[in-house]
Amino acid sequence: MLQDSLLGQKDPFLLDANMSVADMVKNKMHLGHRYPQNFNTNFSGFVYEVKDDFVIIDLPSTYLYLKRAASYAALVARYGGVILFYAYSKKHEFICRKAAVNCSQFYYTGQWKSGMFLEPEKHLKCETLLVDGSLVKNPRIPDVIIIVGCGSYSFPNVRKDFLSTLSKNEIQEGILSPPAANLIKEANINFIPTIGLIDSDSDPYLVTYPVPGNDDNVCSVEYFLNTISLAIKHGVTILPAEDYERENITVPKSHSKH
């Protein structure tokens, strides 16, 4: 049974001190998609109101769900877990990389390559630092994945590298499954928990820890990723040596997306 003095604390990763509904409004996390054209009915529990045919997301719910998700990621990092940040859109590539690097974790952007977790030794670069100071190649899959790109995409707002993977039926329908669909599928196969920023056009049941919020606006995505990144940093920094001794520590070879 896990014994950790932090588990009994109200806010061990200082999330309440670094989060507020007011900041979420400033970063436009409350702005959803057009209703009812681009609305996923499974998202109904996170709707505050519909105004001028657009969904307004309930930010108190966002606060609670983001705090829960960030706390989980921080706890995993506290015990040496590997965390992967993923973003599909090009406009989110830089902030995804920045969030991952700031907390010494991994990132991947763009179209997900199928089979990444099925053949990790082929695709993933990771080494294990042993107690004697030597490095051994030891590719491992992440313990948690943080995802931006769980929503459906309609033409022409989709990357060309994603279009090349579609069937004729999908192209004719004009509505695509989430760009992260393959990633989520492989994560489920490998029992990897997922944290996803879920907009009003997305299904919260796609991921393990959904966080309702605007997944298009750069400010909103940055707030989501930075909150989790900061919690992870706190999780690692406040780790007392007597709580957890690691004989082998897995470290990234480089902050590469491949």
Q: Model confidence over 2-55: pLDDT tens digits?
A: 455 666 677 888 899 999 999 999 999 999 999 998 899 999 999 999 999 999
Percent of the chain with pLDDT over 70: 73
Residue 237 CB neighbour total at 10 angstroms: 11
φ and ψ at residue 79, rounded to 5 degrees: -105, 30
Q: What pLDDT is stored for residue 159 in this prediction?
A: 43
pLDDT at position 10: 78
pLDDT at 3: 53
CA distance 130 to 127: 9
- CATH 3.60.60.10 assigned to domain 21-238? The reply is no
pLDDT tens-digit profile of 199-214? 999 999 989 999 999 9
Residue 190: partners with Cβ closer than 8 Å, 6 or more residues away? 117, 141
Q: Which residues pair with 51 in a beta bridge?
A: 54
DSSP 91: G
Q: Which phi-psi region, left, alpha or beta, contains residue 57 (left: φ > 0; alpha: ψ -120 to 50)?
A: beta
Predicted confidence at residue 62, as pLDDT, reads: 98
Torsion of CA 187, 188, 190, 191, to 10 degrees: 110
Span 230-248, average pLDDT: 66
118-139: pLDDT as tens digits: 777 777 666 655 667 776 666 7
Q: How far apart are CA 143 and CA 73, in angstroms?
A: 9
Give the C-alpha separation, 39 to 19, whole Å: 27
Is pTM, for the whole model, over 0.85?
no
122 CB-near residues (< 8 Å, 6+ apart): none
**If you write DSSP's letter for every residue of 107-163 in order, what string do you get?**
EEESSPPTTTTTSHHHH--EEEE-TTS-EEE-----SEEEEE--S--BTTSS-HHHH
